[in-house]
């Protein structure tokens, strides 16, 4: 604290232009020295820095020849994304290694650096510019490829090679993506078609397993039940009719048997009387026999016709009733003729020695017996036929009832079957919609692939060929030299300012007046030895001469090296 109180604190006086000029005059060497060093270093760096030539090529994106609204493309990546993807492929280690070896790039660096460092340097030397829209539409765009190298011809060759690789990679990439897209949709299409076929098979099997229980078959099933019920009623009527006819035939059979018994009794009586049956007229039938045979044929014809009509119509049908009446009349007529014949057979025959015995022939009794026996056999056969017909009708009724029960069961299962069929149809509609959609997409992808193979898709073409640079783009030697000179001057000024800040001595009369508050009546200049002054000047001159000489030599050597290597 005491030391601080013993040292007075002074405030520096304001400085004017004369003070600044005195400062520069006192520290001129500290300013010019760093400035000269900065200039020398800048020239050395500027001319030892090898030239860098940049070759530029522009590639234009050619829109598809076929509008996308007609043939959608198979490539879903935007051009900017595809440019970045292609750049990653082209700037890969393998591709750049081939380019470096092909054009013998970075020869000096390859002797002292690993290949990984060389590849990283080349990647930094390659610049791929972003897409620039040319104003001709959505796809009208272009991008640049730049390559920097110390040889302008090599830079042009490498840029041309990169341009060719970009165009080829775009073609192969689009072709590969188009093929993969087509194969993907084709596989999905085949799966959808297999699924659709499987669902169609299930629907077909379901329809075959549930006939009559489907919604679209309900009307038909109900109609079938109605028809079956009508058929059962018809068969029931037919069974009744067959039973009635059977009873009628059985009655006729009994009557015929009675007639046969009566006839046999008559024959037996004639035999006992000594009359030989069939002696006279046995070889020729009588007119009554012919009438009976004709009546029998008519009855049989009407019976067959009535049977055929009853198969199609009911007994109440007018035509059936009319045939029934005719049949009854024919039967009565036949029975009347048979009764008449039987009555004639019962008339006693005169004896052979009577006067009129030679003129009245004997009735052919044996033939009538045979006819009655044949009629009995026919009636028995007809009765058996009616029994079989009734059994057949009963069997058909049983089958119809079974069929009716089956259809009724299917109708009862119709709600469950309808729900299952509806689910199958929904699956079918979904599968059909997916199948149609994939079929359309397969067609579109195949068309897009065909367009790519014909070169009608989006392509790349060279808009500006790789340029041959006339002048280097780096380094900017004037800028480097100016920057070195400025940095050296700023460094010298900084050193000068630092020295002045650290120097607290009084240097001029203005300092004495300002800090001592004394009036200066006169001043005595600093008297130094002339030998010391001359020696100091000679040392300064030699030092500056050497420094300038070295600086000029270094700068001249660097400039000479640059132009000698350039030529």
| Ranges of each domain in the chain | 2-48+475-566, 53-189+452-464, 219-351+361-412
Which residues on neighbouring strands pair with residue 132, listed in sequence order?
142
> Is the predicted pLDDT of residue 279 greater than 60, yes or no?
no
pLDDT given for residue 77 in this prediction = 62
Phi, psi values for residue 461, rounded to 5°: -140, 155
| Alpha carbons 466 and 163: distance in angstroms, whole number | 8
> Is the predicted pLDDT of residue 418 greater than 80, yes or no?
no
* Window from 48-52, 117-121, 351-355, 369-373 with minimum mean pLDDT: 351-355
Q: What percent of the chain has pLDDT over 70?
A: 81
Which residue in the block uniquely carries the two structure tokens 């044996």?
366
> Is the predicted pLDDT of residue 290 greater than 60, yes or no?
yes
Check if the beta carbon of residue 393 is closer than 8 Å to that of residue 239.
yes
In angstroms, the Cα distances linking 174 to 166, 169, 453 are 12, 8, 10
The alpha carbon of residue 125 and the mean position of all alpha carbons in its chain are separated, in whole angstroms, by 44
pLDDT given for residue 533 in this prediction = 76
Task: With residue 461 as reference, give the H or E element that holds it.
Answer: strand 459-464
pLDDT given for residue 362 in this prediction = 44
pLDDT given for residue 288 in this prediction = 73
pLDDT given for residue 354 in this prediction = 43
Sign of CA dihedral 87, 92, 96, 98: negative
> Is the predicted pLDDT of residue 126 greater than 90, yes or no?
yes
- What number is the average pLDDT over the span 363-389? 77
Which residue in the block uniquely carries the two structure tokens 């109609």?
223
- What number is the average pLDDT over the span 359-369? 55
Model pLDDT for residues 57-70, shown as the tens digit of each residue:
998 888 777 766 66
3-state secondary structure of 275: coil
3-state secondary structure of 107: helix
- For the CA atoms of 557, 560, 566, 567, the dihedral, rounded to the nearest 10 degrees, stands at -140
Say if residue 296 is preceded by a cis peptide, omega within 30 of 0.
no
We find that the CATH architecture of domain 219-351+361-412 is Orthogonal Bundle (1.10)
| Alpha carbons 376 and 260: distance in angstroms, whole number | 9
* Confidence band of 214 (pLDDT split at 50, 70, 90): low
Model pLDDT for residues 317-335, shown as the tens digit of each residue:
777 788 888 888 888 888 8
| Alpha carbons 356 and 353: distance in angstroms, whole number | 8
Neighbours of 221 (CB within 10 A): 19
Q: Terminal CA-to-CA distance of the chain, rounded, Å?
A: 73
Check if the beta carbon of residue 438 is closer than 8 Å to that of residue 24.
no
pLDDT given for residue 70 in this prediction = 65
**Token digits of residue 266:** 């008559």
| Alpha carbons 259 and 246: distance in angstroms, whole number | 20
* Confidence band of 281 (pLDDT split at 50, 70, 90): very low
Check if the beta carbon of residue 359 is closer than 8 Å to that of residue 351.
no
What is the rounded average pLDDT for all residues in the chain? Answer: 79
Strand pairing class (126-128; 141-149): antiparallel
In angstroms, the Cα distances linking 450 to 186, 236, 280, 310 are 15, 75, 112, 75
Please give the DSSP secondary-structure letter assigned to residue 52. B
- What number is the average pLDDT over the span 267-292? 58
3-state secondary structure of 95: helix
| Alpha carbons 229 and 85: distance in angstroms, whole number | 79
**Token digits of residue 250:** 């059985």
pLDDT given for residue 489 in this prediction = 93
Per DSSP, the residues of 360-404 read SPPP-HHHHHHHHHHHHHHHHHHHHHHHHHHHHHHHHHHHHHHHH
In angstroms, the Cα distances linking 550 to 29, 41, 63, 542, 546 are 16, 12, 63, 12, 6
* Window from 31-45, 82-96, 132-146, 195-209 with minimum mean pLDDT: 132-146
Q: What percent of the chain has pLDDT over 90?
A: 20
**Token digits of residue 119:** 């590849």
* Angle formed by the axes of helices 152-209 and 79-90, nearest 10°: 120
* Confidence band of 173 (pLDDT split at 50, 70, 90): confident
> Is the predicted pLDDT of residue 552 greater than 90, yes or no?
yes
Check if the beta carbon of residue 210 is closer than 8 Å to that of residue 413.
yes
| Residue count of the chain | 567
> Is the predicted pLDDT of residue 218 greater than 80, yes or no?
no
Model pLDDT for residues 465-509, shown as the tens digit of each residue:
999 998 888 888 889 999 999 999 999 999 988 888 887 777 777
> Is the predicted pLDDT of residue 412 greater than 80, yes or no?
no
pLDDT given for residue 356 in this prediction = 43
| Alpha carbons 191 and 186: distance in angstroms, whole number | 9
Phi, psi values for residue 105, rounded to 5°: -85, 155
Q: What is the 3-state secondary structure (H, E, C) of 323-346?
A: HHHHHHHHHHHHHHHHHHHHHHHH
> Is the predicted pLDDT of residue 442 greater than 70, yes or no?
yes
* Confidence band of 97 (pLDDT split at 50, 70, 90): very high
- What number is the average pLDDT over the span 389-409? 83
């Amino acid at each position: 604290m005491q030391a601080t109180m013993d040292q007075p604190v002074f405030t520096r006086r304001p400085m004017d232009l004369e003070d600044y000029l005195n400062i520069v005059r006192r520290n001129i060497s500290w300013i010019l020295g760093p400035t000269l060093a900065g200039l020398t270093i800048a020239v050395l760096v500027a001319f030892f820095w090898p030239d860098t030539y940049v070759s530029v090529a522009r590639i234009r994106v050619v829109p598809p020849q076929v509008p996308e609204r007609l043939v959608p493309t198979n490539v879903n990546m935007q051009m900017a994304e595809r440019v970045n993807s292609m750049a990653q492929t082209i700037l890969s280690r393998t591709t750049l290694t081939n380019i470096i070896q092909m054009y013998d790039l970075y020869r000096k660096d390859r002797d002292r650096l690993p290949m990984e460092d060389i590849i990283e340097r080349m990647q930094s030397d390659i610049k791929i510019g972003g897409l620039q829209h040319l104003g001709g539409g959505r796809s009208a765009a272009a991008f640049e490829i730049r390559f920097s190298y110390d040889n302008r011809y090599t830079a042009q060759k490498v840029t041309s090679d990169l341009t060719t690789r970009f165009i080829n990679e775009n073609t192969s990439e689009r072709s590969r993506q188009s093929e993969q897209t087509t194969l993907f949709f084709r596989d999905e299409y085949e799966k959808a078609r297999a699924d659709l076929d499987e669902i169609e098979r299930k629907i077909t099997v379901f329809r075959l397993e549930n006939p009559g229980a489907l919604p679209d078959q309900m009307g038909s099933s109900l109609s079938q039940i109605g028809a079956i019920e009508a058929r059962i009623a018809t068969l029931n009527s037919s069974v009744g009719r067959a039973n009635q006819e059977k009873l009628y035939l059985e009655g006729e059979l009994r009557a015929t048997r009675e007639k046969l018994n009566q006839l046999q009794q008559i024959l037996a009586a004639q035999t006992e009387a000594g009359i030989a049956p069939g002696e006279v007229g046995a070889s020729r039938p009588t007119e009554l026999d012919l009438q009976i045979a004709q009546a029998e044929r008519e009855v049989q014809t009407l019976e067959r016709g009535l049977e055929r009509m009853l198969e199609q119509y009911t007994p109440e049908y007018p035509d059936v009733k009319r045939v029934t009446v005719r049949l009854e009349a024919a039967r009565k007529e036949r029975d009347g003729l048979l009764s008449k014949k039987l009555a004639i057979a019962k008339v006693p025959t005169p004896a052979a020695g009577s006067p009129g015995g030679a003129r009245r022939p004997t009735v052919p009794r044996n033939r009538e017996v045979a006819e009655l026996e044949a009629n009995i056999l026919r009636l028995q056969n007809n009765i058996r036929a009616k029994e079989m017909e009734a059994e057949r009708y009963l069997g058909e009724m049983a089958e119809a009832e079974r069929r009716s029960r089956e259809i009724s069961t299917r109708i009862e299962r119709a709600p469950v079957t309808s729900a299952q069929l509806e689910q199958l149809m929904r699956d079918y509609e979904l599968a059909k919609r997916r199948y149609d959609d994939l079929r359309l997409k397969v067609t579109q992808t195949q068309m897009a692939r065909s367009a790519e193979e014909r070169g009608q898709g989006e392509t790349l073409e060279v808009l500006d060929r790789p340029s041959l640079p006339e002048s280097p783009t780096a380094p900017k030697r004037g800028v480097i030299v100016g920057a070195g000179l400025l940095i050296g001057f700023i460094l010298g000024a900084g050193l000068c300012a630092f020295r002045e800040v650290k120097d607290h001595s009084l240097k001029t009369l203005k300092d004495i007046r300002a800090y001592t508050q004394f009036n200066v009546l006169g001043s005595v200049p600093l008297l130094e030895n002339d030998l010391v002054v001359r020696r100091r000047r000679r040392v300064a001159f030699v030092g500056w001469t050497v420094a300038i000489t070295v600086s000029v030599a270094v700068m001249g050597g660097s400039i000479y090296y640059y132009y000698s290597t350039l030529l």
